[in-house]
Chain A
Amino acid sequence: MNGELTIDAILILGAGQGSRLKPLTDSSPKPLLSINTRGETIAGRLLSQIHRAFPEAPIFMNFNSLPEVVIEYMASVSTNLRPELIYEPIRLGPTKSVVEFSKLNYADVLVINGDLVLSNTEFARMSKAIDMPDQAFVVVHKRERKQARSQVKTDTSGFVTSVKELSQVENSEFGGSNEEEVLSLSGIYKFPARITKDYTAQYDEPLSPKLIEFWLSQIKVKSFEWNDFRYSIDSTETLKRARIQMEKEL
């Protein structure tokens, strides 16, 4: 089954404050940071990847800071790629944004963190793996436990059996090797809105394992293991690494 058949809308989470990327984010919201010498932005790359994979699905992006900068940029994007924007005058936080979005009239929603710089080929592979309507789907990647913020466990068929948040304290107390690799959440989720809209989210709640536990209590959650480059731009160091990778692509 082709992935586009089971995605009704895509939401890019772009309302983060980007406080760890200051001063860059004083004049540009994180999704609009440039990732190569041609001026391509994080959001621009995501929009192209999404449109290639799901050409029929409407794309949305929420935003909060520097709203004039965001609409100026998005108004310059060609209309076939241009997302519908969701302005949050008061920042809701990722989980509340997702829950609010679930109240719109879309059955199966794909959510992508707006700070991800992703491999084109892996994105295409992932999009074809989304083949279960009305089920949840999470992308995971291997990460050293000491660096992971979450741990996902799956059965032999790739269905998620448990997910938990990993705190730094837990990691330091963990008896095994810190170099042990675990599966960690990658910031890409597909879910049925009919279930997600009933989740009670708090303001500023991160898109944490709690929401996935909520899905797990009601439906199957399939995992997809991401095997190529994926940069979550949360520091100037990761931005630098992503830019090096992007220059290789040119």
Chain B
Amino acid sequence: MKKGLFLDGDGVLWPDVALGGILSGFNQAKKSLIDLKSSIFDSENFVFLVVSNQTLAARNLIPEQEFRDFVSDFFERLINLELLDGYAICFHHPNALNESLRSTNCSCRKPRPGMINSLLEKYSLTSEQSLIVGDRITDIIAGQHAGLSLKVLLTGPRSFEFNDIYMAESETISIRLKPASDLPDAVKVINEWRINN
């Protein structure tokens, strides 16, 4: 059975910048995925998946349909290059200026596990054989709620920023994670994990 590798977008596959790193992040995402595929020692046994909160449209910085089209094109190109297998994006925000994206109870916004759970099901993966790499504690909590076996947190000044959803409802009393300094270091952690899984 294949293993699921869930990857956050901003701060993991491409740089996290204030006005939406995804807008200029394609080449970096492509490079990150090429590097991952070549350095995880049995990458052919992994399903590569992106789970990302994207709020540019919710913040009215880009028209919603335009942003949805952009995001769809962004990931479909990566899939066509055989660097990515699938993705799930949450466009919601509890305080969205764009009313159609305002939601306090969507199941997808991390740290909720909705995006991970739907991809686990879609690709027939088990949570025990899957892992996530994120740059925020909210990625890790989503992975924990989904029961993922390994949660790798990249170090950075915003690693422990809790977002609105977490602040509103978290009941998590302990959060398990493996730290990594950057994506190449995360690969070392993943390869170490693969020895026993």
* Interface residues of A, count at CB 8 A: 23
Chain B, interface residues (CB within 8 Å), range: 20 to 34
Residue of B nearest to A60 (CB): B176
Do A86 and B159 form a contact, CB below 8 Å, given A75-B181, A79-B189?
no
Contact of A84 among B170, B176, B185, B188 (CB under 8 A): B176
Whole-angstrom CA separation of A89 from B162 in the bound complex: 10
What 0/1 readout, one digit per residue, does chain A (51-83) give for beta carbons within 8 Å of chain B? 000000000101000011011101110011010
Q: Is the CB of B155 within 8 A of A100?
A: no
Whole-angstrom CA separation of A92 from B172 in the bound complex: 12
Contact of A71 among B159, B162, B174, B188 (CB under 8 A): B159
Do A89 and B175 form a contact, CB below 8 Å, given A68-B157, A71-B159?
yes
A1 at the interface (CB under 8 A from B): no
The number of inter-chain residue pairs (CB within 8 angstroms) is: 64
Contact of B170 among A60, A62, A67, A89 (CB under 8 A): A89
Residues of B close to A89: CB separation below 8 A: 162, 170, 172-173, 175
A97 at the interface (CB under 8 A from B): yes
B-side interface mostly: mixed
Contact residues of B between 135 and 178, Cβ < 8 Å to A: 137, 153, 155, 157, 159-160, 162, 170, 172-178
A88 at the interface (CB under 8 A from B): yes
Q: Is the CB of B174 within 8 A of A75?
A: no
Residues of B close to A84: CB separation below 8 A: 176-178
B86 at the interface (CB under 8 A from A): no
Residues of A close to B175: CB separation below 8 A: 86-89
Contact residues of A between 168 and 194, Cβ < 8 Å to B: none
Q: Is the CB of B174 within 8 A of A100?
A: yes
Q: Is the CB of A85 within 8 A of B176?
A: yes
Residue of A nearest to B186 (CB): A75
Residues of B close to A60: CB separation below 8 A: 176
Whole-angstrom CA separation of A88 from B188 in the bound complex: 25
Contact of A85 among B173, B178, B188 (CB under 8 A): B178
Q: Is the CB of B177 within 8 A of A85?
A: yes
B180 at the interface (CB under 8 A from A): yes
Contact of A79 among B153, B159, B160, B188 (CB under 8 A): B188
Q: Is the CB of B176 within 8 A of A68?
A: no
What 0/1 readout, one digit per residue, does chain A (80-109) give for beta carbons within 8 Å of chain B? 101011111110100001001000000000
Contact of B179 among A85, A90, A92, A97 (CB under 8 A): A85
Residues of B close to A70: CB separation below 8 A: 179
Q: Is the CB of B181 within 8 A of A82?
A: no
**Residue among A67, A70, A75 with the most chain B CB within 10 A?**
A75
Q: Is the CB of A87 within 8 A of B178?
A: no
Q: Is the CB of A62 within 8 A of B174?
A: yes
Q: Is the CB of A75 within 8 A of B177?
A: no
Do A68 and B155 form a contact, CB below 8 Å, given A90-B173, A100-B173?
yes
Q: Is the CB of A71 within 8 A of B155?
A: yes
What 0/1 readout, one digit per residue, does chain B (118-141) give for beta carbons within 8 Å of chain A? 000000000000000000010000
Do A92 and B173 form a contact, CB below 8 Å, given A74-B179, A80-B192, A82-B179?
yes
Whole-angstrom CA separation of A60 from B189 in the bound complex: 14
Please name 28 pairs of A and B residues whose Cβ atoms are closer than 8 Å in the assembled complex, sorted by A. Answer: A67-B159, A68-B155, A68-B157, A70-B179, A71-B153, A71-B159, A71-B177, A72-B181, A74-B179, A75-B179, A79-B188, A79-B189, A80-B192, A82-B178, A84-B176, A84-B177, A85-B176, A85-B177, A86-B174, A86-B177, A87-B137, A87-B160, A87-B176, A87-B177, A88-B173, A88-B175, A92-B174, A100-B174
New A-B pairs, 10, CB < 8 Å, besides A71-B159, A85-B179: A60-B176, A68-B155, A68-B160, A71-B177, A76-B181, A82-B179, A87-B160, A87-B175, A87-B176, A88-B173
